[in-house]
A = this chain, B = another copy of it.
């Protein structure tokens, strides 16, 4: 076979992509972020949300510097215990739980469960008698890139009823929780739910209860494509709203950051497998996609910053994944800028991809292996 036709640009002839994709996880960077967040919220216990990235070494190093954990299933409880956590320091924040999961977690020593309905309160009272409960309030989710729908949370009036019922059922009605939505860009969004929480505390005390713990949730952002406020801005806003709502007698507080700790510590390293012009539009195909960790690009909700091994002038392109599922397209409505010169074999690094990637990966759709993690 001889041909004088020009060949498409390509960096190396054989298998340049065999080692990608993978998530490069900088564990010390996540630990630094934990320390920064803890410093921005003095007096607040920081519970890393295991769901964001359950990598064992990450959990162990976070535990070693004093992180507590937020869990949502027995498997996550075990991961936290394996990392060195004490079960009584865990918050089990899934408001609607499998009954067998509650039983199993209580047997492992978990004491603090979040609920948001009378039905769940009864379930916890049966499956984990005498444990502590927080009642979750609904929030608007405004200002969040990955908002929370109406799936969880109740009104302040309902919360008072839930806490009263919990007390009647022999549970410890410990307090209130809420969540302002993941990747929350507006520190002021903690204001309204903190005020609502203070109302619940007041009404609950009028009913003879003794709430004392407020779970301020997660939502602390990673740096995707358009920046975000520093952690100190979040700490300042939260302290101010706590003082406004509770005066000089604030409750004990905890937070549940996931993305805010691990998001910026991870880079998804992928390779270009093809660059194709389609009807005047450049399509760049990567060896990582929606089914290998990038689910949060659905609806183009989370926009990762990109870095490449190619350079020179850039132009717009659609970014697509490797499986032959048509849904495996990352950015199309709002195209990304990548070097004109980009070619097969070049690396594309998706920055701030430490959260909700490796754990969101499919079991191997289309025969593409789940996303591997390499820690450093």
Contacts and interface: CB of A to CB of B under 8 A. Distances in A.
A interface, size bucket: 35 or more
Nearest to A320: B151
Contacts of A199: none
Number of copies: 2
A84 interface: no
B76 A366 contact: yes
Nearest to A322: B98
A276 B158 CA distance: 12
Contacts of A147: 326
Interface in A244-277: 273-277
A55 to B, nearest CB: 12
Contact of A323 (B51, B125, B170, B320): B51
Contact of A146 (B129, B273, B327, B365): B327
A291 interface: yes
Contacts of A305: none
A103 B14 CA distance: 9
A368 B154 CA distance: 25
Given A3-B168, A154-B278, A324 B95 contact: yes
Given A100-B17, A326-B148, A367 B76 contact: yes
A75 B151 contact: no
